Structures are given as structure tokens and as C-alpha cells.
């Protein structure tokens, strides 16, 4: 199992809305994440909108992203959530995730 950490940035004027959207993630989106190997998926956000995401997957970060790219619901979710993020440069959030290097793990 691969442990994946990534970062994004939520716009400061959208923090409350972003949190609210994640209280009601579409059931079909949750199913797609599970189906494509996203396990123990968590999001953490600092007060300035810095977002840290973590999940575990049996393959790689790229394989997990590729699996989701094949899901119709992912395209709709990414389009719906795009206005919440800073510095996407015309891409969707899942195309702009900055993967972090794991430097320590205590089992």
C-alpha cells in the first residue's frame, strides 16, 4: 500500500463553502474513489486555505489519478470544485496536486 500526501490551495474567500461541500460529497464520487483504490482519504486545511490531502492506494499516485480520470463523475466533480482553488492555471485540482515526499513513517 502506498501512502500519498499532496497539497493544494483553497481561495481564502471560499474556505467555509469548501468545507460545506465536503460534508456532502456526492455518493457516486465516493463510490468512484473507493473503486479506483483511494483508501483512508483525508483532507486537512489550515486557516489560510493550505490544503493537505492524504490517502493510501495499492498502486501509485499516478495510477490512482488515472483511475479517477476514467470516471465520469470525477470530471463533473472537478468542474464543480474548480472555483474553490487558487493557482490551477486552467487545470482541475486533480491535475494540479503537488505530491509530497514521505520522509518519515511510524508503523
Condensed to tens digits (0 to 9), the pLDDT of residues 74-101 reads 999 999 999 999 978 889 999 999 899 9
Among 22, 34, 39, 76, which one carries the catalytic annotation?
Answer: 22
**For 40-65, what is each residue's pLDDT tens digit?**
999 999 999 999 999 999 999 999 99
Is 39 a catalytic site residue?
no
**Domains identified in the chain, total number:** 1
Torsion (CA) 95, 31, 40, 42 in degrees, nearest 10? 50
- We report the CATH number of the domain holding residue 49 as 3.30.70.100
Strand partners, 3: 56
- Domain range for 25 is 2-100
Q: Count Cα neighbours of 54 within 13 Å in the Cβ-side half-sphere.
A: 7
> pTM to 2 decimals?
0.91
Amino acid at each position: 500500500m502506498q501512502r500519498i500526501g499532496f497539497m493544494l490551495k483553497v481561495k481564502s474567500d471560499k474556505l467555509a463553502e469548501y468545507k460545506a461541500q465536503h460534508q456532502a460529497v456526492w455518493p457516486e464520487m465516493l463510490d468512484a474513489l473507493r473503486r479506483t483504490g483511494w483508501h483512508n482519504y483525508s483532507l486537512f486545511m489550515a486557516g489560510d486555505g493550505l490544503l493537505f490531502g492524504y490517502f493510501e492506494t495499492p498502486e501509485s499516485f499516478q495510477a490512482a489519478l488515472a483511475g479517477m480520470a476514467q470516471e465520469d463523475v470525477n470530471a463533473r466533480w472537478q468542474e464543480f470544485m474548480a472555483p474553490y482553488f487558487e493557482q490551477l492555471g486552467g487545470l482541475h485540482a486533480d491535475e494540479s496536486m503537488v505530491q509530497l515526499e514521505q520522509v518519515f513513517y511510524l508503523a
